[in-house]
């Protein structure tokens, strides 16, 4: 059974992540929000520290996924790398979510590699900073509708297509590209490929200007007869109609709890700042009294905090299940849906509760409200998560419930 306390072995890492967020991220948060597309060089040393934590097996605080090892014996209740990484990500995003997304070698593509790569690929791409390219101009939430193609030609695959909204698409060393081997075979033919920067035919077309997470670059990529080695296909090259797409989708079982954790970190930052402002205004939040007997602002704060706690617990559950080798697709989507919606509601309400201060750049509240919206969108929108949850609960296939 899951224990709701932070595991003892994770407390050191959580504390280190908090210190990094407080001492590194927070002081430069506004600087790089204003200097969009400028690389935060302050992150290089911190990234090296996270590399050491990941290599040691302790789990980092970044966005890298955790590999589930086959053949492991069930040793009972386990608090492993998934839970540790989620807890670390919460702390780092309390500092700044865009700066976490800008961390070298902590990209969402690294989670894809961790999820479906074989042992040889894990060794070969160790130390690679990998972005993940899924979304296309005509394909957003429906990942199965991908039109980018990968055609086998001798010992290579030739990739053609365009990808949009690629986080760290310019800065990363490589991009994990989702493409289809055969459009006629549907979902089962979709595979992921590691395409390294500098590969002929791979072009960064432009960088987007965004509402939030401005410290993180978001790129449009084009692949024009881009030839990659066959061994860069992650996982099996076979088209298996029963499980082909499942191997690729396993990536989301790792990344959705991480995105939920990012949302929780931002929400907590906004709640703590709002509680401080309320206290300065003479409004005390009393946990021993019913909300309807307190100041209206305190009652509103209590409701927001309850929403936060629900998202937090769902996220811990989904990560704990992954550590204990339990299928967590349903829980990962529930956590992502709840945390994504909650962080938007919480940050906007906190801006409101803070009055004029909340709408100015004097505080970070307005920035957090802008950063929050993407956490409800990427890695599967709110609506897609609800659809996945409904399918899992009702036992329906994607064809039966659209």
Element housing 160 (H / E): strand 156-167
Task: Tell me the CATH architecture of domain 244-394.
Answer: Up-down Bundle (1.20)
> Could you please report the per-residue DSSP string of 318-363?
HHHHHHTT---HHHHHHHHHHHHHHHHHHHHHHHHHTGGGGGSTTS
Nearest in space to 338 (alpha carbons), one of 360, 357, 362, 313: 313
What pLDDT score was predicted for residue 368? 98
Residue 272 and residue 282 in contact, taking contact as beta carbons nearer than 8 Å? no
Nearest in space to 261 (alpha carbons), one of 52, 17, 71: 17
Token pair 């789990």 is found at 59
Task: Tell me the CATH architecture of domain 8-124.
Answer: Orthogonal Bundle (1.10)
Catalytic residue among 91, 136, 162, 379: 379
Burial 306-327 (b: 16+ CB within 10 A, else e): ebbeebbebbbbbbbbbbbeee
379 catalytically annotated: yes
Task: Tell me the CATH architecture of domain 130-232.
Answer: Beta Barrel (2.40)
Residue 333 and residue 392 in contact, taking contact as beta carbons nearer than 8 Å? yes
CATH code 1.10.540.10 region(s) in the chain? 8-124
Residue 363 and residue 349 in contact, taking contact as beta carbons nearer than 8 Å? no
375: Cβ–Cβ under 8 A, 6 or more apart, which residues?
97, 259, 262, 263, 266, 339, 340, 343, 344
Count of all residues that appear for the chain in the document: 402
Output the pTM of the full model: 0.92
Q: pLDDT tens, position by position, for the chain (402 residues)?
A: 556 678 888 899 899 999 999 999 999 999 999 999 999 999 998 887 776 655 555 555 444 454 555 555 555 677 778 888 899 999 999 999 999 999 998 888 888 888 788 899 999 998 899 999 999 998 877 777 899 999 999 999 999 999 999 999 999 999 999 999 998 888 889 999 999 999 999 999 999 999 999 999 999 999 999 999 999 999 888 887 655 555 556 778 878 999 999 999 999 999 999 999 999 999 999 999 999 999 999 999 999 999 999 999 999 999 999 888 889 999 999 999 999 999 999 999 999 999 999 999 999 999 999 999 999 999 889 999 999 999 999 999 888 998
What pLDDT score was predicted for residue 56? 52
CATH code 2.40.110.10 region(s) in the chain? 130-232
CATH code 1.20.140.10 region(s) in the chain? 244-394
């Amino acid at each position: 059974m899951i224990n709701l306390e932070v595991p003892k072995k994770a407390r050191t890492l959580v504390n280190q992540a908090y210190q990094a967020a407080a001492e590194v991220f927070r002081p430069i948060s506004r600087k790089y929000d204003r200097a969009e597309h400028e690389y935060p060089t302050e992150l290089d040393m911190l990234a090296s520290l996270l590399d050491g934590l990941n290599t040691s097996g302790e789990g980092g605080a970044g966005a890298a996924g955790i590999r589930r090892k086959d053949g492991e014996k069930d040793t009972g209740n386990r608090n492993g790398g998934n839970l540790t990484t989620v807890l670390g990500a919460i702390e780092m995003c309390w500092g700044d979510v865009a700066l976490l997304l800008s961390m070298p070698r902590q990209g969402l593509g690294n989670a894809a590699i961790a999820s479906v790569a074989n042992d040889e690929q894990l060794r070969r791409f160790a130390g690679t900073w990998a972005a993940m390219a899924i979304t296309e101009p005509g394909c957003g939430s429906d990942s199965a509708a991908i039109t980018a193609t990968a055609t086998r030609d001798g010992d290579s695959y030739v990739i053609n297509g365009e990808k949009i909204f690629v986080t760290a698409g310019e800065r990363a060393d490589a991009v994990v590209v989702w493409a289809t081997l055969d459009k006629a075979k549907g979902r089962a033919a979709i595979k992921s490929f590691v395409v390294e920067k500098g590969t002929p035919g791979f072009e960064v077309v432009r960088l987007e200007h965004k509402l939030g997470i401005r410290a993180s670059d978001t790129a449009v990529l084009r692949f024009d007869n881009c030839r990659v080695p066959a061994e860069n296909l992650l996982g099996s090259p076979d088209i298996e109609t029963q499980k082909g797409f499942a191997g690729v989708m396993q990536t989301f079982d790792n990344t959705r709890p991480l995105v939920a954790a990012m949302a929780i970190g931002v929400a907590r930052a906004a709640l703590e700042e709002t509680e401080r402002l309320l206290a300065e205004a003479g409004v005390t939040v009393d946990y021993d009294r019913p909300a309807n007997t307190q100041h209206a602002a305190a009652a509103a704060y209590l409701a927001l905090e309850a929403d936060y706690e629900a998202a937090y617990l769902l996220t811990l559950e989904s990560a704990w299940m992954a550590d204990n080798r339990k299928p967590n697709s349903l829980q990962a989507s529930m956590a992502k849906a709840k945390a994504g919606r909650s962080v938007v509601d919480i940050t906007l309400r906190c801006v409101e509760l803070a009055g004029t201060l909340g709408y100015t750049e004097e505080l970070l509240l307005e920035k957090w409200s802008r950063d929050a919206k993407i956490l409800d969108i990427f890695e599967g929108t709110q609506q897609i998560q609800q659809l996945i949850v409904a399918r899992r609960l009702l036992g329906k296939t994607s064809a039966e419930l659209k």
